[in-house]
Amino acid sequence: MNSPYRLTKTRAIILFTLMLLGAFLLISWSSYEVARQSLNNEIEENTLPLTSDNVYSEIQQDLLRPIFVSSLMAHDTFVRDWVLDHEKDPNAMIRYLSEIDRRFDTIFSFFVSDKTDRYYDPKRVLETVSEKVRRDQWYFQAKSLPADKSYFIDVRLDPEDHARLDIFVNYKVQDYQGNFIGLTGIGISVEKIKALIEKYEQRYNRVIYFVDKSGQVVLHGQSFKRAMNIRQQPGIGPLTTSILTVPGGSYQYRDQGRQVLLNTRLLPEFDWYLMVEQRDHPLQRVLYMTLLKNLGIGAAVSVVFLLLLWLTIGGYQRRLEHMATTDKLTGVMNRQAFELRFLLFQRRRGSLLTGTPVALAIIDIDHFKPINDYHGHGIGDRVIQHIAGIIQTSLRRTDSLCRWGGDEFLVLMPDCDSVQALARMATLSALIEQSPLIFDNKTIPVTVSCGVAEHQGKEGVDALMNRADIALYQAKQRGRNRAEKWED
Ligand SMILES: Nc1nc2c(ncn2[C@@H]2O[C@H](COP(=O)(O)OP(=O)(O)OP(=O)(O)O)[C@@H](O)[C@H]2O)c(=O)[nH]1
């Protein structure tokens, strides 16, 4: 009888659980998303560009200095006059270059004469450059620069230590009429710039590197372990074209499941892009941990809430069930519960196809109306309770007792034929006769009449009761205080 109620309760609890967990999940997730988004925006719009600006302005000094020094050399009247004076004193140029190295702390300075193709460095006059030699191509490349470009930058191996890279600034030298007369410039060590990049990476907790206009990574710190062209780098690859066609911007991409925020900025003097990347901001982790904590709290609150709900609903349900199935006056089963019990019994009997007999007895208090009329309704109630108590003590565990209404009781007796039932009811009526209600020094004798019938085939409760009622009528007719069974 409980199962349909339990099912409804279980369904309701599952529904509440889903709603509650859904609500917690939705609230926690949306607030996490809002916080994450605003943190990302803050990083993307403020923090990252600010870092980028700082790195740019600091690194720019170191990168622009060689251009500045080269420009000084190219416009120096000494250099131009010396060339125009047919390079008479090579030592003068050598001294000049070594002075440049000493004053500006460059690693290498040079001059190449267009007229003689001679290559000067701070120590000596090296051999001449030739268009036919591959390693001299940088010179002819610089020489053929468009008129509006005064220099070009070259990153290549250190001529003395081939394991290291140097940045060379090659500046065009022109005479007073603007004719090309040579190339001068200096070289600085990439290692120095790399050290700077690493310093900034540690200071700002960012990944910093430079790419040229083709997407090739030209400068990076030691921890950089990725494809040397960003076009081949997963995540950022598809963004490369848009990155390299604007002077700077903010981008987002995913790399190995992690979000990367990127700020780019063009260094026009080098035609390089400064790339500043932010991965795993510490606050992102804090936000994620907060999300997990919120979900944990949500789940715990849900569990406690649902447990209380389960117990409360269970308590109410049990009370309601008890109220709906029990007779208030006697505490025995009421009519509705009995009908349901009979239906279940019938179903079980049908499925088991058991041949065991089942009997039903109707017990009616004799002359109950006069008891009510003489002693009052309250005493009448006590008589009903008294009779219910006696019947209950005489039942087996498998019997079911019901107060059908007024002064009438039903007893359903499985594994009991009409003859056995009749005998049991006769014993019961004798017992009731010998057990008057005694109270306030008054003795109220009570007797009952019983009608018994055995269940036949698939008949319903009404048909069975009808036959038992006929038997009861006979008992009443034959003088009451007795039991009769239905006879065909
Ligand atoms: N005190 C009390 N009386 C009730 C209750 N329910 C019904 N009654 C009364 O029980 C009486 C039933 O009387 P009947 O069964 O008609 O007649 P009876 O006096 O028992 O006569 P027989 O059954 O022929 O012996 C009526 O007077 C009802 O008012 C109840 O809950 N408490």
**CATH assignment of the domain containing 171:** 3.30.450.20
From the alpha carbon of 480, which atom of ligand 1 is closest? Answer: 25
Dist. CA 400 → ligand 1 center (Å): 22
Residue nearest to atom 12 of ligand 1 (CA): 369
Please state the φ and ψ torsions of residue 418, each to the nearest 5 degrees: -65, -30
Q: Is residue 262 part of a domain?
A: no
CA distances from 231 to 214, 221, 356, 482 (A): 9, 19, 87, 105
| Regions in the chain scoring below 50 on pLDDT | 1-2
As a whole number of angstroms, the distance between CA 269 and CA 127 comes to 30
Atom of ligand 1 nearest to the CA of 329: 31
Query: Residue 154's beta-bridge partner residues?
Result: 168
Q: Is residue 106 part of a domain?
A: yes
Question: 74 CA to middle of ligand 1, Å?
Answer: 129
Nearest atom of ligand 1 to the alpha carbon of 372: 1
Residue at a domain's end among 167, 191, 215? 191
* Any domain includes 295: no
Torsion angle of alpha carbons 83, 86, 90, 93, nearest 10°? -10
Helix (H, G, I), strand (E, B) or coil at 97: helix
Domain span at residue 378? 335-485
- CA 39 to ligand 1 center in whole angstroms: 81
| Rounded-to-integer distance, Cα 294 and Cα 298, Å | 6
**Is 248 part of any domain?**
no
Which mutation among 330, 334, 369, 371 tests ligand 1's pocket best, with the greatest number of atoms within 8 A of CB? 369
Residue 379 forms part of a structural domain: yes
What's the predicted TM-score (pTM) here? 0.51
Mapped onto helix, strand or coil, the DSSP state of residue 380 is helix
Distance (Å, rounded) from C-alpha 393 to C-alpha 385?
A: 13
Which atom of ligand 1 lies nearest, measured to the CA of 381? 1
Residues in Cβ contact with 398 at an 8 Å cutoff, skipping those fewer than 6 apart: 413, 414, 415
- Contact criterion met (CB below 8 Å) for 360 and 412: yes
Question: How many A from CA of 360 to the centre of ligand 1?
Answer: 21
Residues with CB under 6 A from ligand 1: 329, 364-369, 372, 377, 380-381, 384, 406-407, 476
Domain of residue 356, CATH code: 3.30.70.270
- Residue 416, in any domain of the structure: yes
DSSP character string of 360-389: EEEEEETTHHHHHHHH-HHHHHHHHHHHHH
Number of domains in the chain: 2
- Rounded Cα–Cα distance for residues 413 and 206 (Å): 86
CA of 475 to the centre of ligand 1 (A): 17
For ligand 1, mutation pick of 364, 372, 450, 481 (most atoms within 8 Å of CB): 372
pLDDT of residue 350: 63
Q: Ligand 1 mean position to 486 CA, how many Å?
A: 23
Domain-located, residue 256:
no
- Give residue 370 CA to ligand 1 midpoint distance, Å: 8
Among 157, 191, 225, residue at a domain's last position: 191
The letter for the amino acid at 200 is Y
Rounded Cα distance, 344 and 346, in Å: 5
ipTM surpassing 0.90 = yes
Alpha helices by DSSP H, listed for 150-237, are 190-204
Within 8 A by CB and 6+ apart from 225, the residues are none
**Residue identifier of the C-alpha nearest atom 14 of ligand 1:** 369
Q: Which of 159, 175, 191 is the last residue of a domain?
A: 191
Partnered with residue 410 across adjacent β-strands are 362, 402
